[in-house]
Amino acid sequence: MSKLSLERILQSQGFGTRKWCSQLIEEGEVSVDGKVIRDSRCVVETEGLEFSVYEEQWIYRALVYIALNKPANFECSRRASHHPGVLTLLPEQFNLRDVQPVGRLDHDTTGLLLLSDDGAFIHQQSSPKHHVPKLYHATTAEPVTPELVDYLLKGVKLHDEPAPLAAISCERVATHQLAIVLEQGKYHQVKRMLAAAGNHCTALCRTQIGNLRLEALCLEPGEWCYLEAAQLALLTTAAKL
């Protein structure tokens, strides 16, 4: 159980400075359980708290865990330079509470992207030391051959890596498409491995992290959802083709 003043609750949820949150409350723009509260210092139980700001409903979350179906031509950066940042696809409150992408997808890579304001979670999911498996579907310029699949499974040497990098699993799913599971999370890894193996990646989509599948989330490109405990647990289980 945890109780906080309503102004602190709004600030923690990304609605602005304490001064601004206090003003929202005093102007009658905030309701708790359907009741307008005008006292910014009113102490409220945070567990299971539902509130509204400008008549938009919110649930209090001490930390947020988000899945986004990333479209092409968005950058996984809080300071995007050449394309819009993925945070522009989310409510402004998430930016104010310092939600960050977990790792990065290239601007032209699509698919499952996690975001959170939980630093320990971000580190666990993005650090190569934790070996979180990720499933990608890659479209190739040249046909996918048995030799290409075998090469990716045995490991390819990249010029800036001390040892060959190998796929955990890999299979041909169409004449010019393969499914590949990696756990190292190196820079542009799928594209660089395909290039080193003598092919070229023309499109790339991440469809799974751990055992959390993008298709199970039913998100259209650009859509997002909160991840609850059962879905977060899937991130620690092995990815399977």
Catalytic residues: 106
DSSP state at residue 5: E
Closest to 145 in 3D by CA, of 218, 198, 84 = 198
Closest to 56 in 3D by CA, of 30, 74, 94 = 30
CA 68, CA 176: separation in Å to the nearest integer? 26
CA 66, CA 224: separation in Å to the nearest integer? 7
Q: Which residues pair with 85 in a beta bridge?
A: 75
Cβ of 40: how many Cβ atoms within 10 Å? 19
DSSP class per residue in 88-142: GGS-HHHHHTT-EESS---TT-EEEEEEES-HHHHHHHH-GGG---EEEEEEESS
Supply angle C-alpha 15, 81, 132, rounded to 5.
Answer: 75
